[in-house]
Chains A and B, each alone.
Chain A
Amino acid sequence: KQEVTQIPAALSVPEGENLVLNCSFTDSAIYNLQWFRQDPGKGLTSLLLIQSSQREQTSGRLNASLDKSSGRSTLYIAASQPGDSATYLCAVKGNTNAGKSTFGDGTTLTVKP
């Protein structure tokens, strides 16, 4: 059974700081990993999708990496802004249950002005 863990559960940083969010998963046989952003009480916004054959993906100030062998992914946010404050979730799609994504419980980020 796939398990996804995100550490830390909460993070508070001053504006302008670069930061890294962590995601680990127990079963390395995955098809892809997706990072999402969730604002309070809202749905999920897709940030980056990394296929199992890829090592990283970049979009603007965001960079996500994937190391399948160690069961880890990181989301790097450069030059953080107060508007980045949200909960960040990672989801892993495995090859034993095609179509099902397993989520972590998220990291809640607060960027202070």
Chain B
Amino acid sequence: DAGVTQSPTHLIKTRGQQVTLRCSPKSGHDTVSWYQQALGQGPQFIFQYYEEEERQRGNFPDRFSGHQFPNYSSELNVNALLLGDSALYLCASSWAGINTEAFFGQGTRLTVV
């Protein structure tokens, strides 16, 4: 079992550009959540996908969007990048339902210059 895998591991983008981050959930998991972690802080919830639909959304602007594919993998898209979008982006997968353990990937380090 490869666990949760994210790609790429590191990325450098210029202000105003667009970026796409990818996540493959742990085998058998059907729910994917995305988090943004600024340096020295805890992860902040961006949104969650289940059955190819956005089920919940945190306090992030519409520049942040996502998608889930039939194989449960997911993408996070960020448009019109700002310097403040520089962070570690984490993907978590779990089974549907509430009382389930979340497993995280290694993250994508995004730097906006």
| Chain A contact residues, CB within 8 Å of chain B | 4, 31-32, 34, 36, 41-46, 49, 51-52, 89, 91, 93, 95, 97-106
Which residues in A have their C-beta under 8 angstroms from that of B33?
Answer: 99-101
Q: Mark B41-57, 1 if CB is under 8 A from A, else 0.
A: 11111001010000110
| A95 to B56 alpha-carbon distance, docked (Å) | 13
Chain B interface secondary structure, helix, strand, loop or mixed? strand
Indicate which residue in B41, B56, B92, B107 contacts A105 across the interface (CB closer than 8 Å).
B41
Indicate which residue in A46, A98, A105, A106 contacts B102 across the interface (CB closer than 8 Å).
A46
Indicate which residue in A32, A49, A51, A104 contacts B42 across the interface (CB closer than 8 Å).
A104
| A78 to B10 alpha-carbon distance, docked (Å) | 35
B67 CB-CB contact with A under 8 Å: no
Tell me if A4 and B99 are in contact (CB < 8 A): no
11 A-B contacts, Cβ less than 8 Å apart?
A31-B98, A43-B4, A43-B90, A44-B104, A51-B99, A89-B42, A91-B102, A99-B55, A102-B45, A103-B35, A104-B42
CB distance from B42 to the nearest CB of A (A): 3
Question: Which chain B residues (61-113) contact chain A, with CB distance < 8 Å?
Answer: 88, 90, 92, 98-99, 101-107, 109
| A42 to B99 alpha-carbon distance, docked (Å) | 25
Tell me if B104 and A36 are in contact (CB < 8 A): yes
| A4 to B102 alpha-carbon distance, docked (Å) | 18
Which residues in A have their C-beta under 8 angstroms from that of B101?
Answer: 34, 46, 49
A91-B43, A99-B48, A103-B44 are known; give 4 further A-B pairs, CB within 8 A: A44-B104, A91-B42, A100-B45, A101-B92
